[in-house]
Amino acid sequence: MTVQPIKVVFCTRGGIHGALVLHRLLSSPRVQLCGIVYSSRVAGPNDGFFTGVCRLLRQSGLTYLLYLWCSTSLAEWLMRFSRLPPVLLLAAGNRIPMLTTSRINDESSRLFIAELKPDLLVSAFFNQQIGDAVAAIPSAGAVNIHPSVLPGFKGVDPVFFAALCEGETGVTVHRVTPELDGGNILRQESIAADRRDSVLRTTARLYDRGGELMVAMLDDIASGAMGTEQATEGRYDSWPTPTQVGELKSKRKSLVTLRDLIGLVRSGSS
């Protein structure tokens, strides 16, 4: 008897982190990548590109904004010369239908996903909140890869705040709910942080491992595994402030290093 692969729609912002997870999905014989939702959002849902950049510049400062550029736009350009192509090239090379949008919950986005008839929606390094209507489209629902050991360090950059607070690092695969990073935990793993590693390098390691964990339990998720409730509400952090970025530097920790960028060119990983 032939076991049918699981039809997956993948939601991501791209960059090195999205590419690592997409590569894991494409490498699994249990996955049929039937579509990709690629986020074009920079900050708020109503912001254009320049408005979003200005918003982040005011919120987090130039240093952090350059870090985000390194992990997304610059990473995607450098990865064109590596063994791991960026998300857009992986999608084109595998002829995967793709929607680029800043509003995943709009009717056009819902129709795009519904027409693909997915079994599961997987999000990783995705900067939009997935609403109930979208999460309900796949027969097995929606799950997210989050680079922290939930319920600790919820929010937009948990690796940054774990480094700042010298907290636990790890990765969690969890169900998507209206509460950001608040869904039932399907699987999680603590991963020791190396003080020499930058925030970008640590984040890449966590997303790569999260992709492995996701693939390993795909059949359980597709069969309806709901996971366990998070024990507490945990903490939620928005974008870091320039002061917090300065505090991280004072601890002799880096957002991104030259080694990271060289690693992207050499192997497609940081």
Q: What is the pLDDT of residues 28-78, one digit of tens each?
A: 999 999 999 999 988 777 777 888 888 899 999 999 999 999 999 999 999
Q: Return the pLDDT at 1.
A: 47
Q: What is the average per-residue pLDDT within 73-97?
A: 93
The answer, yes or no, to whether the previous bond of 151 is cis (omega within 30 of 0) is yes
Distance CA 6, CA 123 (A): 15
Q: Return the pLDDT at 221.
A: 92
Contacts of residue 260, defined as CB under 8 A and 6 or more positions apart, other chains included, come to: 70, 198, 200, 201, 270
End-to-end CA distance of the chain: 41
Using 50, 70 and 90 to split pLDDT, how confident is the model at 2? low
Can you list the domains of the chain with their CATH numbers?
Answer: 6-257 (3.40.50.12230)
**50 compared with 107, residue with greater pLDDT:** 107
Average pLDDT, the chain: 92
Distance CA 98, CA 152 (A): 33
Residue 86 has pLDDT above 60, yes or no: yes
Q: What is the pLDDT of residues 206-240, one digit of tens each?
A: 999 999 999 999 999 988 888 999 988 778 899 99
Q: Return the pLDDT at 42.
A: 84
Q: Count the neighbouring beta carbons within 10 Å of the beta carbon of residue 183.
A: 25
Q: What is the pLDDT of residues 123-134, one digit of tens each?
A: 999 999 999 999
Nearest to 20 by CA among 94, 65, 83: 83
| DSSP string for residues in 122-175 | EEES--SPPPHHHHTSSTT-EEEEESS-TTSSEES-HHHHHHHHT---EEEEEE
Strand, helix or coil for residue 186: strand
Q: What is the average per-residue pLDDT within 149-166?
A: 93
Q: Return the pLDDT at 223.
A: 87
